[in-house]
């Protein structure tokens, strides 16, 4: 029983290079004996040998065949799938038998590769195919048979990859030397264009140096030093990178180290980072890992990883940032992202982002957790402290979150502070769905359930349940000049906002028990000042009224003044020997303070969410 010799895989380019250049060397000796018929004999012999090696149909024209110089033009292999405008070889006849060549110039090389169900094809045959066993190679011998080229010039090389989703074209030029199955080159300049990662793109690549190692199994490894990449239409650039690209069988690997990634916008969207990455592409699937660290700021960076299916144009990216530790006199958001337009000052606390972002059918979804611990910051009109949350982001752009998210913080404005607890979701950067909003203020709480907020208008409609709120705080919010007191109130307030107009429906707040109330306006309203002696007595009683029961009814139309109706029973110890009074007093108010607080909250939220969402726009 005979045993078939093992078969090895060899790339088309390596295969063609071995055959072409080895035959040129052999022909150099043979042509000395066939001088008169040198060109035609050489052409026929070369075509036959190339066809026998599986590179046919072959076409070429030999222009020059002389000792030390061979020039071929219009070289076509695989029926024209690989073409050369000019192949020029110079050599010393004395070195031919040692497989040494002074120089080879390949000008106008064109290679067309087709990607289909059977893999990468050239001229209807596999790009990498089985070749006859080479005992020297099987024993670890050289892939190029010991061929050495002092100077290899690649000028105007074009490689086109034809794919169903669109072509990719690469154009490059470089110079190199070959020895021991290694190509060592100088500066490289390449341009790649076509459908890349689901869109028409064009990128430029340069490198200070290059190496290409050919492997016995048909694979190759390309190394680039000091590489730089820019992509047309994208405001990002990579430079100073060491790149290693490997290809074997149907697998392509990429390793990147030392690269500097920077944003080209002014001001920068992100400070420069040091980038390292690895990627493997096999069967149209790209798997990658990357690490980014800010170059000039310690403790700022992120780790990324994921997969992308080029055929389906879908994939997932995993994100894990280092915890950002902000301090009032230390790290601030604009130190990391100078173009970030957030109305925040003196940011403190810890912020991190972790989770996945997926793209399917051109749409982004995510399961990102934005974590804030003990965060504080100041805005122009308010200060926030003790902000804690873990916000599940379901769509990074336009911003959206999962339902029933919880946020708590302390908000201070104009010398007053309140504890705010929010439960709900961000539908998009201008719409909130509120399940529950509770504001702890003045010993009590204001609670509203199940309402929507349109931050763009702004607009909302909610019923606020008031519980155990200090009477003095209520009178300040209602904005009745000179009205104050002690005790706690409870009740309900229907509230509607549209634009700058605040409407208050029929509302009633009632005291939980006895207390005090006073009314000491700087200027008496006309209806009181002109009411006569009876009202004067009431006003004296209201300078220090000890109520047994108290109710405040109030209402305000969208475009007009509102009113406050006090219903009191009690007495003033200093008036008529503590004579009891039952009073119903109507006072006018425009509720300016209440409207200011409501609009302030809506506009602060709009500003914060809108700018945060805009800062992550692709």
Neighbours of 509 (CB within 10 A): 20
CA distance 141 to 107: 29
CA atoms 267, 271, 276, 279: torsion sign: negative
Q: Which residues pair with 364 in a beta bridge?
A: 359
Parallel, antiparallel or unpaired: strands 515-519 and 483-485? antiparallel
pLDDT, greater one: 473 or 373? 373
Give the pLDDT band (50/70/90) at residue 296. very high
CA distance 220 to 604: 58
CA distance 573 to 107: 110
pLDDT of residue 12: 59
Most distant CA pair in the chain, distance:
143
For the segment 585-609, the average pLDDT, to the nearest whole number, is 71
CA distance 106 to 85: 8
pLDDT of residue 48: 67
> Residue 492 in contact with residue 448, Cβ under 8 Å?
no
pLDDT of residue 200: 83
Weakest mean pLDDT among 21-35, 68-82, 156-170, 445-459: 21-35
pLDDT of residue 617: 45
For the segment 231-242, the average pLDDT, to the nearest whole number, is 91
Average pLDDT, the chain: 82
Ramachandran region of residue 308, left (φ > 0), alpha (ψ -120 to 50) or beta? beta
Give the pLDDT band (50/70/90) at residue 608. low
pLDDT of residue 615: 45
- Is the model's pLDDT at 158 over the cut of 90? yes
3-state secondary structure of 94: helix
Percentage with pLDDT > 70 across the chain: 79
pLDDT of residue 43: 65
CA distance 324 to 302: 10
Weakest mean pLDDT among 170-184, 189-203, 448-462, 593-607: 593-607
pLDDT digits (tens, 9 = 90+) for 362-409: 888 999 999 999 999 998 778 899 999 999 999 988 889 999 999 999
Q: Hey, which of 225-229, 477-481, 609-613 has the most confident mean pLDDT?
A: 225-229
- Is the model's pLDDT at 239 over the cut of 60? yes
pLDDT of residue 487: 92
pLDDT, greater one: 205 or 41? 205
Give the pLDDT band (50/70/90) at residue 136. very low
Weakest mean pLDDT among 85-99, 146-160, 490-504, 594-608: 594-608
pLDDT, greater one: 342 or 331? 331
Nearest CA to 501 out of 602, 355, 356 is that of 602
Q: Which residues pair with 428 in a beta bridge?
A: 431
- Is the model's pLDDT at 257 over the cut of 60? yes
Neighbours of 420 (CB within 10 A): 19
- Is the model's pLDDT at 612 over the cut of 90? no
pLDDT of residue 141: 59
pLDDT of residue 100: 78
For the segment 222-246, the average pLDDT, to the nearest whole number, is 92
Q: How wide is the angle at C-alpha 609 spanned by C-alphas 605 and 611, nearest 5°?
A: 120
Weakest mean pLDDT among 334-338, 454-458, 485-489, 494-498: 454-458
pLDDT of residue 237: 95
pLDDT of residue 532: 54
Place of tokens 């669109």: 166
pLDDT digits (tens, 9 = 90+) for 167-180: 889 998 888 888 87
CA distance 144 to 15: 8
What's phi and psi for 472, nearest 5 deg?
A: -60, -40
pLDDT of residue 337: 92
pLDDT of residue 31: 44
Q: Which residues pair with 102 in a beta bridge?
A: none
- Is the model's pLDDT at 460 over the cut of 50? yes
pLDDT of residue 40: 64
pLDDT of residue 125: 77
**DSSP 8-state code for residue 57:** S
Nearest CA to 102 out of 111, 110, 94 is that of 94
Nearest CA to 409 out of 362, 451, 374 is that of 374
Place of tokens 């907020």: 453
pLDDT of residue 609: 61
């Amino acid at each position: 029983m005979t045993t078939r010799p093992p078969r090895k895989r060899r790339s088309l380019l390596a295969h063609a290079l071995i055959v072409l250049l080895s035959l040129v060397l052999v022909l150099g000796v043979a042509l000395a004996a066939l001088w008169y018929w040198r060109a035609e004999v050489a052409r026929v012999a070369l075509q036959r040998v190339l066809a026998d090696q599986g590179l046919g149909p072959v076409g070429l024209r030999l222009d020059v065949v002389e000792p030390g110089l061979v020039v071929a033009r219009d070289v076509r292999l695989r029926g024209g799938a690989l073409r050369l405008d000019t192949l020029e070889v110079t050599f010393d006849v004395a070195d031919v038998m040692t497989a040494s060549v002074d120089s080879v110039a390949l000008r106008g090389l064109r290679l067309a590769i087709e990607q289909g169900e059977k893999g990468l094809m050239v001229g209807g045959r596999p790009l990498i195919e089985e070749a006859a066993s080479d005992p020297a190679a099987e024993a670890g011998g050289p892939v190029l048979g010991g061929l050495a080229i002092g100077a290899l010039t690649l000028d105007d090389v074009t490689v086109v990859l034809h794919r169903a989703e669109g072509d990719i074209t690469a154009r490059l030029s470089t110079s190199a030397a070959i020895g021991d199955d290694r190509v060592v080159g100088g500066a490289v300049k390449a341009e790649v264009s076509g459908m890349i990662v689901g869109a028409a793109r064009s990128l430029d690549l340069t490198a200070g140096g290059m190496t290409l190692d050919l492997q016995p199994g048909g694979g190759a490894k390309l190394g680039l030093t000091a590489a730089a990449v820019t992509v047309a239409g994208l405001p990002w650039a990579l430079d100073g990178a060491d790149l290693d690209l490997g290809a074997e069988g149907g697998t392509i690997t990429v390793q990147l180290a030392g690269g500097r990634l920077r944003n080209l916008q002014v001001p920068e969207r992100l400070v420069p980072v040091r980038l390292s990455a690895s990627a493997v592409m096999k069967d149209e699937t790209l798997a990658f890992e990357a690490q980014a660290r800010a170059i000039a700021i310690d403790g700022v960076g992120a780790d990324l990883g994921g997969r992308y299916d080029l055929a389906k144009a879908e994939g997932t990216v995993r994100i894990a940032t280092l915890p950002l530790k902000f301090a009032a006199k230390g790290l601030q958001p604009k130190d990391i992202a100078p173009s970030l337009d957030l109305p925040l000052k003196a940011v403190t606390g810890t912020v991190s982002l972790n989770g996945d972002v997926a793209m399917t059918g051109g749409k982004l979804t995510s399961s990102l957790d934005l974590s804030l611990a003990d965060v504080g910051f100041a805005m122009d009109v308010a200060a926030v402290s003790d902000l804690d949350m873990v916000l599940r982001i379901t769509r990074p752009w336009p911003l959206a979150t999962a339902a029933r998210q919880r946020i708590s913080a302390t908000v201070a404005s104009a010398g007053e502070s309140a504890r705010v607890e929010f439960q709900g979701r961000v539908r998009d950067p201008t719409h909130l769905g509120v399940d529950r909003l509770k504001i702890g203020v003045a010993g009590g709480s204001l609670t509203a359930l199940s309402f929507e907020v349109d931050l763009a208008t702004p607009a909302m409609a909610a019923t606020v349940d008031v519980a155990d709120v200090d009477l003095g705080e209520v009178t300040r919010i209602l904005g009745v000049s000179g009205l104050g007191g002690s005790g706690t109130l409870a009740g309900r307030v229907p509230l509607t906002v549209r634009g700058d107009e605040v409407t208050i429906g029929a509302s009633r707040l009632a005291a939980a028990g006895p207390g005090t109330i006073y009314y000491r306006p700087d200027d008496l309203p006309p209806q009181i000042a002109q009411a006569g002696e009876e009202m004067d007595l009431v006003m004296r009683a209201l300078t220090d009224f000890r109520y047994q029961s108290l109710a405040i009814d109030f209402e305000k139309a969208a475009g007009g003044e509102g009113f406050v109706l006090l219903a009191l029973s009690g007495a003033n110890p200093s008036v008529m020997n503590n004579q009891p009074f039952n009073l119903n007093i109507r006072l006018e108010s425009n509720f300016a303070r209440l409207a200011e607080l409501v609009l302030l909250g809506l506009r602060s939220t709009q500003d914060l969410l809108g700018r945060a969402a805009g800062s992550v726009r692709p």
